[in-house]
Structure 1
């Protein structure tokens, strides 16, 4: 009872003003600040919440009895329903859940209304947004076996290979960009841009990827001298992935490939393991994983027919291609560190370049299908291929050169940060 009286006497603002650390006039019905912003205005219940553990392992708060609003401020029933249907939790592996409430959404994205307006209903995801990866129509337009031999090319050049002359500033650029991907993942602030958002949602997350995104958190602030211990922990998980990858289905193999790439980049950028023999073996294993995942298909059959594919099939194909491109850039950085030559990935010729940010960022099936229909109208023929960013063949005449430049310009209009990074590297190193 004493604690309840203390918490009541200390409450000088409604929940919204308290969260924003703003002055609240506690006006009956709705305070002035909430009214001007169209926010729901409520006050804490007298009963203190107690902690409980939800099914995902994260901590949630619940209070005994019904949490009723303060009699000083009634919350409309529509606002209650809106808050209940829009609050969501995203869990990545065993990391703590990140809660997103309607109040945060409204405060950051909706225009500030001078007067409270009508309630805007926000519907929960429909059943059509449920992802089903059980039937994917994919194929590989390239010889994927060449991917597994990538590591040999720096030591035993193959005839016909084209050397990439990386200027020092481009090498530094790739290094810093890939290092930033590692930092984002280790700090739990997001995932690298070769992982699709659907891959880390709790309903469809693959175990290799969710385990990876949780395990690498131990490398956020390693104590001096403990880098070797952390490297051993990651190394054991990498060995486990490689020993069992042949048992995985297509989607899980992709997750294993992505997880292994992230582990390898953490070992290099955060734990400085490049000089170890085990790291060399890890890179050979990585390219074998890439080969096996690619064998499961790198393009949708519908893409080849210039038609709209199934959303799930496109997610897997696009994520595979992006992960391959990231691995090749990482391979170039490693070769540069060793003073070895880097070669153009001619074995990837014909693969689609990273596609529109609107497609990659779509979170609903309807939104993605609408974006893909627009994409098809922009590209009446096939979309841009990764090799169109490489040096122009000497036998191209001027009209063909202009046509290629025009296609690249159209592609650049809608690419995301990952595509922009790919263009920056290719245009500066290959003259694309």
Structure 2
């Protein structure tokens, strides 16, 4: 789930061009950016009481407290939400230092902290790239590209810890915690793909496709993600397995292949009926794509 070496060379070797001129593409990019920023604002406002839809409640409950990468991230997001014009430079530099620290230290993290680090990078990058509206920033586009490429290595490490359960492939009941963590990994990786896609458009870089994610399950039913107890989750998951017994779970590849001119098939309609706001964002992005622009994606 890591972009190709060609993509790496393009970002590190190319001079940014002008932002994409397609109104449909820029509308979609701005939509994605606004949603990403809203997740940072949600954390700043509600801390752990209301989490963005890529951090699962089981990551911050049970036997352990908030993973250190997320604890630090939440503090910095709060700082960002309260910054003034005079403190903007301090906020930017502090967030950049934390990003650089995570990119250095992630190799020593256990599985839970590694996921938390990637989730923190998503929130902090959103703020750094789109949340400060700062002219004369010390962060220039080549540096942004270098940092994004380094995040791929963290994403690769998270992928290496497993992003698909055997039980999911066999369409049987997994454990709640294992399912929650693997779902959070997939959602975080998908969200980072959206971040880079939008960044590429507005900065004038060739855009990133995410078709390699096609074989993975699409974001699952909101009622499964939001269940509060293991017993309730098991009961809901058993019903969900029965609903999706024909053909297995809905895959991202099915979503990517929707024809904007046709009615949705029954599997896509069922998936859309069940998803939470994270899935709705994916659906909206697909609906907003300019078909002529989409055909040119590399």
Name 2:144's counterpart in structure 1: 279
Distance in 2, matches of 1:259 and 1:148, equals 25
Shift, 1:318, TM fit: 0.4
Name 1:172's counterpart in structure 2: 30
What root-mean-square deviation, in Å, do the aligned CA atoms of Structure 1 and Structure 2 show?
Answer: 2.7
Name 1:389's counterpart in structure 2: 255
* 15, 38, 41: which one aligns with 1:183: 41
* 220, 233, 242: which one aligns with 1:355: 220
Shift, 1:150, TM fit: 5.1
User: Residues 392 and 221 from structure 1, CA distance in 2 versus in 1: closer, same or farther, beyond 3 angstroms?
Assistant: closer
Question: Are the counterparts in 2 of residues 188 and 217 from structure 1 also a CA contact under 8 Å?
Answer: no
Gap regions ≥5 residues in structure 2: 15-21
User: Residues 173 and 214 from structure 1, CA distance in 2 versus in 1: closer, same or farther, beyond 3 angstroms?
Assistant: same
* 370, 383, 400: which one aligns with 2:235: 370
Aligned pair 1:310/2:170, yes or no? no
Please give the TM-score of this superposition, normalised by the length of structure 2: 0.83
User: Residues 305 and 353 from structure 1, CA distance in 2 versus in 1: closer, same or farther, beyond 3 angstroms?
Assistant: same
Name 1:234's counterpart in structure 2: 95
Question: Are the counterparts in 2 of residues 389 and 427 from structure 1 also a CA contact under 8 Å?
Answer: no
Query: Could you report, residue by residue, the CA deviation over 1:316-370 in whole angstroms, capped at 9, with x for unpaired residues?
Result: 1100111111111111111111123324212212011000011100111101101
Shift, 1:155, TM fit: 7.2
Distance in 2, matches of 1:191 and 1:300, equals 24
Distance in 1, matches of 2:290 and 2:170, equals 30
Shift, 1:223, TM fit: 2.2
Name 2:74's counterpart in structure 1: 213
Aligned pairs for 1:143-162 within 5 A = 144-146=1-3, 151-152=8-9
Please give the TM-score of this superposition, normalised by the length of structure 1: 0.58
Richer in strand (by share) = 1
* 274, 279, 299: which one aligns with 2:164: 299
Question: Are the counterparts in 2 of residues 303 and 309 from structure 1 also a CA contact under 8 Å?
Answer: yes
Distance in 2, matches of 1:290 and 1:253, equals 9
Richer in helix (by share) = 2
Larger CA Rg, structure 1 vs 2: 1
User: Residues 232 and 317 from structure 1, CA distance in 2 versus in 1: closer, same or farther, beyond 3 angstroms?
Assistant: same
